[in-house]
Amino acid sequence: MQSFSKSCFILHDLCTSSYPLEVFFTTHSAHDNADNRASSKLFEDAAREEAQEASTPVRPSRISILEGQSENWTGEESTRDAVLRMLVDKYKPLRSGPIRTADEKLKQAPPNVSAPNVVEAASAVPHPTDSVQASTPRKYLPHEPLLPSIEGHKPWHTTFKVPSHATSSIRYGHIPQPSRTASSLKIDDKAKRLERDAKRRTAEAGRLSRAKESTLDYRLGIKNGAAAMQARPAPATLKGWSNLVEDRIERARQAGLFNNVKGRGQPLASHTQDKNPFIGREEFLMNRIVQRQGAAPPWVEVQGELESAINSFRDVIRQSWTRRAIRMLTISQPAALLPRLTLSSVTSLRDAEWEARERAFHEKAIDEMNALVRKYNGLAPYAVRRAYYSRSAEVDKLYRDAAQDILHGLAARVNQQGSAPANVLATYGFREMIRDLWASLRGR
């Protein structure tokens, strides 16, 4: 119990004291020199290690070593470094050593060209162990080059050889002549027949092209145009093509082919898309050429077909209803009351018999127009698609649009008859009825 209380007292002094451990243990060891316990041994070892660490100098870290070698850059350049940099930029350092030309360098260190020698000839003799050595692949070292190096060879000694696939250029007209070695070889009958067919097709194509050129020259009034073109061989370079084009343009100008050009002597027509910054110049010119030639996307062509079908259908039913309404009003109303009819009264006029008779034609025409609408919607963008047409909507539109034509027709009838009242049937007889019936059948 006394040893336990003593150990607790030592630990309490160790934790609360501010002086070193060796002083603490030296003071307590003076009180008890015969203390051989394990805890005392541990405390003594700890004190000895702390004393050794305090006596050993601390080794600086790598970061502190690097910081001491050079100063960190603060973003500002010192005056000494700035002056040195300006001097180096202004006065470049001179070359060291004598100045030699390329010929002198080649003479001093000529490139080594490998040539067959006796060793290589001897190595060409088959050896029993060659098959075994050839079967094992050679192992390259990490820093060993794949190609053997030549002693004294420099990069400027290397010559570049153009590959075979880079010798021809369609753009610049650099087309090499075909090799004659292939034609000298013997070919079979099938190859000869194919070659004859190719020559025959080429000759036929040439005759057709010459005939087309002659026809165009005859229409344009050019004499011996095809013969002159055939006499001159096709150019093989870009400059030759440009000269040929300039020659053609000059001959056409001298012949007066540009005198009747559309818009000659007039200011250029401005277009709204000409100043659009979101459309490239090439795209604008291409679109203008396509528009002048009458070409259009498929959905635009279908749109034109649909518009023509709708307009023709509406014109036919308007003419039919106008004739029918004028005939009805002239028969049912006296001539003196016809000029008093208003637009609302004519618009509200209906004829069930005429609608029943024309229903089959209306439905057939509406079905054809809806078929075109369906085709148009399948090709056109979503923003410009159309709705289907209905017979009731078209008939209502007909009554509204044809009212003005009916009034004009009634006024013309009244003017023909004069101011005196007369029998309407006297002016509209059997001949007029047959003529209106025939016109309605042709329009249908």
pLDDT in tens, 307-349: 999 999 999 999 999 999 888 888 888 777 877 888 888 888 8
Is 249 inside a domain boundary?
yes
Contact (Cβ atoms closer than 8 angstroms) between residue 410 and residue 339 = yes
pLDDT value for 177 = 64
Are residue 439 and residue 343 in the same domain, yes or no?
Answer: yes
Q: Quote the radius of gyration of the chain (alpha carbons, Å).
A: 54
pLDDT-derived band at 230, boundaries 50, 70, 90: low
Are residue 232 and residue 360 in the same domain, yes or no?
Answer: no
Are residue 249 and residue 306 in the same domain, yes or no?
Answer: no
pLDDT digits (tens, 9 = 90+) for 414-435: 887 664 444 444 455 666 667 7
Number of domains in the chain: 3
Are residue 310 and residue 212 in the same domain, yes or no?
Answer: no
Q: What is the mean pLDDT of residues 396-413?
A: 88
Structure tokens at 141: 């070292």
Amino acid, single-letter form, for residue 230: Q
CA atoms within 13 A on the CB side of 197: 6
- List of residues 6+ apart from 332 with CB closer than 8 A: none
d(CA 373, CA 385): 8
- List of residues 6+ apart from 176 with CB closer than 8 A: 167, 168
- Give the domain range for residue 218: 203-254
pLDDT digits (tens, 9 = 90+) for 154-187: 777 777 776 666 665 656 566 666 655 544 445 6
Q: What is the mean pLDDT of residues 221-230?
A: 60
Q: Is the pLDDT of residue 370 over 90?
A: yes
Q: Is the pLDDT of residue 120 over 50?
A: no
- Distances in whole angstroms, Cα of residue 247 to Cα of each of 27, 229, 244, 252, 257: 121, 11, 5, 9, 14
pLDDT value for 282 = 85
Closest by CA position to 347, among listed 393, 397, 391, 410: 397
Are residue 407 and residue 340 in the same domain, yes or no?
Answer: yes
Q: Is the pLDDT of residue 77 over 50?
A: yes
Q: What is the mean pLDDT of residues 376-387?
A: 92
CA atoms within 13 A on the CB side of 253: 6
Are residue 389 and residue 312 in the same domain, yes or no?
Answer: yes
Is 53 inside a domain boundary?
no
DSSP bridge pairs for 174: 169
More reliable by pLDDT, 22 or 284: 284
Range in 115-129, 139-153, 184-198, 423-437 the model is least confident about: 115-129
Q: What is the mean pLDDT of residues 202-206?
A: 81
Q: What is the mean pLDDT of residues 114-141?
A: 50
DSSP bridge pairs for 169: 174
pLDDT value for 309 = 93
pLDDT value for 231 = 55
Q: Is the pLDDT of residue 232 over 70?
A: no
- Model pTM score: 0.37
pLDDT value for 227 = 55
pLDDT value for 387 = 93
Is 223 inside a domain boundary?
yes
Provide the mean pLDDT of the chain.
Answer: 75
Are residue 312 and residue 407 in the same domain, yes or no?
Answer: yes
pLDDT-derived band at 18, boundaries 50, 70, 90: very low
Amino acid, single-letter form, for residue 155: P
Percent of the chain with pLDDT over 90: 15
Cβ burial of 334 (10 Å; 0-12, 13-18, 19+) is exposed
More reliable by pLDDT, 161 or 132: 161
d(CA 204, CA 226): 16
Helix, strand, or coil (residue 169): strand
pLDDT value for 12 = 52
Amino acid, single-letter form, for residue 316: V
pLDDT value for 174 = 61
Is 261 inside a domain boundary?
no
Is 127 inside a domain boundary?
no
The length of the chain is: 444
Are residue 208 and residue 319 in the same domain, yes or no?
Answer: no
Are residue 235 and residue 329 in the same domain, yes or no?
Answer: no
pLDDT value for 317 = 93
pLDDT value for 134 = 47
Is 50 inside a domain boundary?
no
Are residue 359 and residue 428 in the same domain, yes or no?
Answer: yes
More reliable by pLDDT, 20 or 340: 340
- End position of a domain, from candidates 190, 219, 254: 254
pLDDT value for 346 = 86
pLDDT value for 67 = 67
Phi-psi region of 256 (alpha: psi -120 to 50; beta: other; left: phi over 0): left
pLDDT value for 117 = 47
Q: What is the mean pLDDT of residues 10-32?
A: 49
Is 307 inside a domain boundary?
yes
Residue identified by tokens 């609302």 is: 344
Q: What is the mean pLDDT of residues 247-260?
A: 85
Q: What are phi and psi of 236, to 5 degrees?
A: -110, 0
Are residue 221 and residue 337 in the same domain, yes or no?
Answer: no
pLDDT value for 178 = 60
Are residue 320 and residue 425 in the same domain, yes or no?
Answer: yes
Q: What is the mean pLDDT of residues 79-98?
A: 80
pLDDT value for 386 = 92
pLDDT value for 430 = 63
Is 168 inside a domain boundary?
no
